[in-house]
C-alpha cells in the first residue's frame, strides 16, 4: 500500500503556493499561453534539464540561476515560442522576462525561474508578454493550478496534473505537479515541461538528488517518438510551509518523501506518454531478471521506443518477435534461452522458445486496451498555429491505470525496471508533417 493519498489542487495543493494561467496573445489561436507559479516564501529549488546540445535560453538561464543559488520563488512559463536557437536576442528576451516579473512581484529576478515551449527558432513575442505580466500576477490564486496547467500546453490534447498527501511527523505534507508534453518525447528528457511544488523543508543537495532519481524513474523512462528537444525542464520547489522538521539526510522520512515525489513524476510521465501525438493507448514495458535496475531499464526503454513494436500495437498485431528483437538489441547481455515474453496475460515465449497462443484473443486484448483508453481524437492538433480547440478534459483514470502490458524476463537476476510509451499511428505522421505549415 502507498503511504499517501491523492488529493485535488495540483501545484497549489501544497501550502504556500499560488498559480495562474492567462491568454497573453503569444499563440495565434488565442488560447491560454502564459503561466505562473509562485511560492509565498523563498523555496529550495532543484531542476533537471534537456541533454540536447542545442538549448533554449530558458534552460541556460535556469541552469545559471540554480548554480548561483539553490532557491527560487517563482516559475514563469510561456507557450507558443520555444525561444531556442535564437542567439543573444533570445537570451536578452529571457532576462527581460525575469526582470519584468520580478518588478511586478516585488522580488529579485534571481528568484525567478523560466520555461518556454513552442516552435524552435522563434523568439518570445515580447510585446504581448510585457502587456500580460500584470494581468498574470493579478490572476494568481490558491486554486490556480488548472489554469496554469492549461496555459503551458501546445499539441497536448489534455492537461496533466496530480497532487498527493502524506504525513511526516504527524503533520500533512503535500506534493503537486503539472506537466505538458505530447511529441518529441524520449528518455534523457524530452519535449516536456514539468513543475512540482512541495511544502516540506528539504536540504538543497538532498532535494536535487531526490528529483534526479525521480526523473530517472519517470520522465527519463518514457518515449513517444525517439526525439528529444531543446527546452525540456523539470523544476521542483520545496518551501517548508508544512512546518515539519527539515529533512537533511536520507532516512525513513526522506525515503517517504522521495517515494511520493517519484509517484507524482511517474503519474505525469505516464500522462505524457498516453497523450503522445496520435497515440491510441499507453504501453507499459516491465522487465525483470536483469543483473541490475539500470540494465532492466535499458531493455525496457529500448522496447518501448521501438517503432516496430509501437506500430504493431497500433495495428493490434501481437507480433512478439519485434519485442524479442528490441530486447536483444538493447546492448544488455543475456542468454537467449532465458527469454520470456508476455503480452497482457498471453505467454508467447518461454525459455527462449515460441509458444502457441490465441492470436485472435491477444489482438482483442490490444483492441480493448485502446478502446478503454480512448481520448478525443477529434481534437487532434495538426499544426502549431492552430494549437488546440475544444474540451481539454483530464485523461480518464483508466487510460493510465490499464495500459497495454508487455512483460519481459531475461534471466534470474534481481534487476527490474519499467518504461512507458505509446503506439505509433498514422496521425503522428500527419501532425508532425504539418507542424509549422
- State how far Cα 66 lies from the chain centre: 21
Could you tell me the CA-to-CA distances from 319 to 284, 322, 359, 366 in Å, in that order? 16, 6, 9, 11
- CA 265 to chain CA mean position, Å: 7
Cα 46 to chain center, whole Å?
16
E strands, 199-274, are 233-238
Catalytic residue of the set 86, 191, 228, 244: 191
Choose among 277, 200, 269, 306: nearest CA to 48: 269
Helix crossing, 307-314 with 320-328: angle to 10°?
A: 160
The CB density around residue 167, as the number of other CB atoms within 10 Å, is 14
Residue 307 near residue 226 (C-beta atoms within 8 A): yes
DSSP conformation letters of 14-55? STTEEEEEE--S-STT----EEEEEEEEEEEEEEEE---SS-
How far is it, in rounded angstroms, from Cα 50 to Cα 56? Answer: 9
Going by C-alpha positions, the residue among 154, 128, 152, 189 that lies closest to residue 383 is 154
Q: Give the integer Cα–Cα distance in Å for 124 and 79.
A: 9
Residue 8 is among the residues annotated as catalytic for this protein: no
Contact 6, 162 (CB under 8 A): yes
What does each C-alpha distance from 161 to 144, 176, 235, 270, 379 come to in angstroms?
12, 8, 15, 11, 19
DSSP 59-121: HHHHHHHHHH-SEEEEEEEEEEE--BS-HHHHHHHHHHHHHHHHHHHTS-GGGEEEEEEEETT
- Active centre residues (catalytic): 191
Amino acid at each position: 500500500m502507498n503511504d499517501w493519498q491523492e488529493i485535488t489542487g495540483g501545484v497549489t495543493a501544497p501550502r504556500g503556493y499560488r498559480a495562474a494561467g492567462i491568454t497573453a496573445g503569444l499563440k495565434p489561436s488565442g488560447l491560454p499561453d502564459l503561466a505562473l507559479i509562485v511560492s509565498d516564501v523563498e523555496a529550495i529549488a532543484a531542476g533537471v534539464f534537456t541533454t540536447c546540445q542545442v538549448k533554449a535560453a530558458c534552460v541556460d538561464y535556469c541552469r545559471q540561476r540554480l548554480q548561483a543559488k539553490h532557491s527560487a520563488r517563482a516559475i514563469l512559463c510561456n507557450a507558443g515560442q520555444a525561444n531556442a536557437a535564437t542567439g543573444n536576442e533570445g537570451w536578452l528576451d529571457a532576462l527581460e522576462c525575469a526582470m519584468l516579473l520580478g518588478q511586478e512581484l516585488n522580488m529579485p529576478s534571481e528568484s525567478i525561474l523560466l520555461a518556454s515551449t513552442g516552435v524552435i527558432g522563434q523568439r518570445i513575442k515580447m510585446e504581448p508578454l510585457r502587456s500580460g505580466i500584470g494581468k498574470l500576477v493579478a490572476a494568481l490564486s490558491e486554486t490556480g493550478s488548472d489554469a496554469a496547467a492549461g496555459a503551458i500546453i501546445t499539441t497536448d490534447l489534455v492537461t496533466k496534473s496530480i497532487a498527493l498527501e502524506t504525513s511526516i511527523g504527524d503533520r500533512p505534507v503535500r506534493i503537486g505537479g503539472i506537466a505538458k508534453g505530447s511529441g518529441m518525447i524520449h528518455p534523457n528528457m524530452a519535449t516536456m515541461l514539468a513543475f512540482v511544488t512541495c511544502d516540506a523543508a528539504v536540504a538543497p543537495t538532498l532535494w536535487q538528488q531526490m528529483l534526479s532519481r525521480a526523473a530517472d524513474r519517470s520522465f527519463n523512462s518514457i518515449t513517444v517518438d525517439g526525439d528529444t528537444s531543446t527546452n525540456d525542464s523539470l523544476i521542483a520547489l520545496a518551501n517548508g510551509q508544512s512546518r515539519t522538521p527539515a529533512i537533511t539526510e536520507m532516512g525513513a522520512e526522506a525515503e517517504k518523501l522521495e517515494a511520493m515525489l517519484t509517484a507524482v513524476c511517474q503519474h505525469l510521465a505516464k500522462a505524457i506518454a498516453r497523450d503522445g501525438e496520435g497515440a491510441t493507448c499507453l504501453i507499459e514495458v516491465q522487465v525483470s531478471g536483469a543483473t541490475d535496475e539500470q540494465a532492466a531499464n535499458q531493455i525496457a526503454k529500448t522496447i518501448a521506443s521501438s517503432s516496430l513494436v509501437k506500430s504493431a500495437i497500433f495495428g493490434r498485431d501481437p507480433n512478439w518477435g519485434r519485442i524479442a528483437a528490441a530486447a536483444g538489441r538493447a546492448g544488455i547481455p543475456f542468454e537467449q534461452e532465458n527469454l520470456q515474453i508476455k503480452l497482457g496475460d498471453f505467454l508467447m515465449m518461454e525459455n527462449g522458445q515460441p509458444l502457441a497462443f490465441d492470436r485472435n484473443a491477444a489482438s482483442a486484448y490490444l483492441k480493448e486496451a485502446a478502446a478503454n483508453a480512448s481520448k478525443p481524437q477529434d481534437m487532434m492538433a495538426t499544426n502549431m498555429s492552430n494549437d488546440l480547440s475544444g474540451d481539454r478534459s483530464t485523461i480518464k483514470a483508466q487510460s493510465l491505470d490499464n495500459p497495454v502490458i508487455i512483460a519481459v524476463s531475461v534471466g534470474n537476476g534481481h534487476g527490474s525496471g519499467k518504461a512507458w510509451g505509446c503506439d505509433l499511428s498514422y496521425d503522428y505522421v500527419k501532425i508532425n508533417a504539418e507542424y509549422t505549415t
